[in-house]
Amino acid sequence: MDEINVPESEILARRAKLQREMQTAELDGIFISQRVDQYYFTGTAQNGYLYIPVAGEPLLFIKKYLPRALKESPLRQILGIGSIKEIPSLITDHYGRLPRVLGLEFDVLPVRNFNFYRTLFRGSEFVDASPAILKTRMIKSPWEIEQMEKTAALSRDIFAYARETLRPGYTELEFAGLLETFARKHGHGAQLRIRDYQTEGYPWHILSGASGGLVGLLDAPASGAGTSAAFPCGAGNKLFAPGEPIMIDFGTVMQGYHIDETRFFAIGAMPERARRACLAAMEIHDSILERARPGVPLQELFQFSVDRAAALGYADQYLGPPGHKVSFIAHGIGLELIEPPFIASGSRDVLECGMTLALEPKLVFGGEFSAGIESVFTVTEKGSRLISKTPVEIFILD
């Protein structure tokens, strides 16, 4: 697979947008150490650190490997360093002083690193730059959506392979391995990027029959059947059997951009109760897409989905069994699997053109099975459009 460099126009537009956010937040500079944020603003994920001033050119400091960073990034100021301790004097040399108010990625920065940075940038006031960074990343450019379209094409092929390969006798975990092997052979980038340190970055939830009815299913850090107390999630040792719903929730990444999709399968036939539940989830899914357009409050969409589930007779099962429900039906997606915004209870945000979200209305029948769907869409000027290319349907296999 050919490597795709981020165009310079993308990097310049992203920096300009972030610097406007910095002016609003009265930040003199932002010091970025998280790998995905560095890649977003530089085009390279080599081991290093990025300093972005409130105005002017940023400085990228590379520990290793400098030749690759120079090849990948269009930034004009890329310096090789042997130690992070060199950075304060290099910033002073370039900008005349250290920043008085310095933004850091508080949501991902380890406390130990933060304490070290306080000794490194003596005299600076530290504030949280994560909101400004995530707000900048939340709206995707046409180039970014194009990359997600390419990832969606691979995801479609993975689900097509699942239709060709799924049969009785495989365990959930064994089949997960088959899908992941196929995905890797065809360009899957292997590492799903997860910003939350408690969430595991593995590609698959594969749950069949009663495994899908376990409490806490919906993308929780410790959900599903799992194989042990040490990893109680994703897939287990249950064998696939005819006549039961099989959930395949697969996360795909190419060139750093993610797609997160869920489809339901059955071998021979799906029990009618499960089939009706899947169809209800699809109806909610389609109704949300019809209503999604710039300016629509996210809380309003969430409440609509809850009300629609109740009208369809699934108030108890929607978003989890009573007492264990999640409070969102969609999460942003892009360079990380889960990003802002969230179509969630209590959200104060509205949809904006260029947002990309993974929409996942799901139902859990405690101890029995789960049902649902997940697709990725983008908000357009007039409404919404699916990025996902996998057909929105239930797959019944002979």
Q: What is the mean pLDDT of the chain?
A: 94
d(CA 248, CA 250): 6
Q: Sorting pLDDT into bands at 50, 70 and 90, what band is 299?
A: very high
d(CA 207, CA 232): 12
Buried/exposed code over 56-76 (b: 16+ C-beta within 10 A; e: otherwise): eebbbbbeeebeebeebbbbe
Q: Sorting pLDDT into bands at 50, 70 and 90, what band is 340?
A: very high
Q: Which domains does the chain have, with CATH numbers?
A: 8-137 (3.40.350.10), 139-397 (3.90.230.10)
Tell whether the model's pLDDT for residue 257 goes beyond 80: yes
Tell whether the model's pLDDT for residue 227 goes beyond 80: no
Q: pLDDT > 70: what percent of the chain?
A: 96
Q: Sorting pLDDT into bands at 50, 70 and 90, what band is 218?
A: very low
Gyration radius of the chain's alpha carbons: 22
Tell whether the model's pLDDT for residue 273 goes beyond 70: yes
- Distance from CA of residue 64 to its chain's centroid? 27
Q: In what order do the strands lie in the sheet with 246-254?
A: 204-208, 246-254, 257-267, 395-397
Token pair of 28 as six digits: 């003199």
pLDDT in tens, 117-168: 999 999 999 999 999 999 999 999 999 999 999 999 999 999 999 999 999 9
The pair phi, psi for residue 78, each rounded to 5°, is -125, 120
* Residue type at position 230: A
The pair phi, psi for residue 166, each rounded to 5°, is -65, 130
Stretch 285-298: mean pLDDT: 98
Residues with Cβ within 8 Å of residue 151, at least 6 apart in sequence: 252, 253, 254, 255, 257, 258, 259
The pair phi, psi for residue 307, each rounded to 5°, is -65, -40
The pair phi, psi for residue 20, each rounded to 5°, is -65, -40
